[in-house]
Amino acid sequence: MASEKPSWLRVVLMIPLVASLSLLVRAQQSGLPVQGLSLEQAVQMALTNNPIIDAAQSGQSLAASRLAEARAARLPSVQFSESFTHSNNPVFVFGSLLEQGRFGPQNFAIDALNQPGSISNFRSSLNLRVPVFNRFQVASKIRQAHLGTEQADLQRTAMEQQLRFQVVQAYYGVLIAQARKQVADEAVASAEADVKRIRDFHEQGTVVASELLSMEVQLAELKQQQIQAVGDTAAAQAALNTVLGDSSGIDREPTGQLEDRRFEIPSLDHLVQAALKERPDYREAELDSSIREQDIRAAKGQYLPDLNLFANFGQSTRDLSGGSSDFAIGASLTFNIFDFGRTPRIDQAVAGRQAADAQKRRKGDEVRLEVVKAYHYYQAAEERLNVVSGAVEQAAEAYRIAKDRHGVGLTTLTEVLRAQTASVRARMNVLGARYDYYLGFAQTLLVTGQLRDLSAFVN
């Protein structure tokens, strides 16, 4: 009788093969291709195709453009202008004649000065401005833009780590869905054999009809679980394709295994310290505080003067040909003696930095709490796995013994049904506990900012 049910170890080893064959048959029936997929391939596909990475890249490009724009404010600016004016304003006429090089003795006549005839003036001008000192305004913006690029890089890192976690969740989600379907299939097959056996006994008159009906009810319940498992498998496959950013309609068969594996994590205190050092979002909060510090520097810099160099080259003509040219070079120093908005702007900048510091402290509290939760979730999943792993073989043996005893009339069918339900539940529990254990380890790496790769799951 011991050969009727495979051992728990044999079942676990058979799950990937049976699930792969099942998915292959389903895909062949639907006409869709099937491709094997390792965990490393899944991560690479997700990092290549998932839209969240495109969003992160756009954020990095935007930050780099802002930095380039801020740095450009330190470079000289050159402007060219062309203007046309026609007027009889005495001052305009006098100045334009001088600019055009056409001023003569006749223009000193009183009537010519007071009531000149109108003239036209085309003015071409090339202006150069060189900033020398701008009260720390540009330097502060450059520093802020540089910090912004660091934030964009951290956001990319955070998104990549979150995506790796989603890959683990979806990849092993397919495996556990397939494994649960396999358990459900075996339970249905076993229940169908039990129904046939009880029916034969009933026809021989050795069991009452109520036992046959009870066994058929048990079979119906197991078939419901089987149907649910089929739907869960399809949903898990769709979730995996979504994380991969794959809309090709190809069913990808995970080649990994939800095997019995033990992970190692350091102490809770070490995890908290690692999180405060490595978490991208916490480091973003630190950078935001530095950005607000630059606002204070720029606000205080408004008490200082603004120094610029300039050069100008111009040409004035009456008909776009000929004319006279001129140039000017110099420096300008601007100092705001009275600006009653400077002090409020400094106060605003200080308040902004204080808010950023408070946000950083709040983020630190969130990080600590998330690490504590993830740590205890992982510990609980590990303990659950240790408890339920031993119960699988015990439940299977209890089910076998109950069937043997019922076959010789030493127990009731109710005991057999109870043992069968316990055996199926134990196998489902060990799968769920193992999945939670894998996910708990990945979550621990994620909340500490150390989910840089998934080598721990494949080595």
At 146-183, the pLDDT tens digits run 999 999 999 999 999 999 999 999 999 999 998 888 88
Q: How far apart are CA 312 and CA 315, in angstroms?
A: 10
How large is the average pLDDT for residues 346-362? 95
Strands, DSSP E only, in 95-246?
Answer: 119-133
The amino acid present at 197, given as its one-letter code, is R
How many CB atoms within 10 Å of residue 248? 11
Mean pLDDT for the stretch of residues 332-359: 92
Burial degree of 218 (CB within 10 A; 0-12, 13-18, 19+)? buried
Distance (Å, rounded) from C-alpha 444 to C-alpha 202? 56
Q: Which helix H or strand E contains 295, and what residues bound it?
A: helix 280-301
Residue 60: exposure state from Cβ atoms within 10 A (0-12, 13-18, ≥19):
middle
Residue 271 has pLDDT above 70, yes or no: yes
What is the structure's pLDDT at 257?
Answer: 84
pLDDT tier at 26 (50, 70, 90 boundaries)? Answer: very low
Q: Closest by alpha carbon to 198, among 214, 182, 185, 186?
A: 214
Q: How many CA atoms lie within 13 A of 126 on its CB side?
A: 6
What pLDDT, in 10s, does the model give residues 360-395? 999 999 999 999 999 999 999 999 888 887 777 777
pLDDT at position 427 is 84
pLDDT digits (tens, 9 = 90+) for 203-236: 887 777 887 888 788 889 888 988 998 999 999 9
Closest CA relative to residue 343, chosen from 379, 305, 296, 306: 296
The structural domains of the chain, ordered by start, are: 2-71+138-294+343-458 (1.20.1600.10), 82-133+310-338 (no CATH)
First to last CA, the chain: 38
* Distance separating alpha carbons of residues 277 and 449, to the nearest angstrom: 8
CA dist., res. 203 & res. 298, Å (int): 95
Q: What is the pLDDT of residue 196?
A: 86
Euclidean distance between CA atoms 152 and 48, whole angstroms: 18
- In the block, tokens 């400077």 appear at 342
Q: What's the CA gap between 37 and 245, in Å, rounded? A: 14
Q: What is the pLDDT of residue 13?
A: 36
Query: Averaged over 73-85, what is the pLDDT?
Result: 93
User: 126 versus 98: which is more confidently predicted?
Assistant: 126
Q: Rounded to 5 degrees, what angle do the CA atoms 277, 279, 282 make?
A: 90
Predicted pLDDT at 10? 39
Percent of the chain whose pLDDT exceeds 90: 51
pLDDT digits (tens, 9 = 90+) for 109-129: 888 788 888 899 999 999 999
**Closest alpha carbon to 328 in 342, 308, 313:** 313
Q: State how far the Cα of 365 lies from the Cα of 286, in Å rounded to an integer.
A: 14
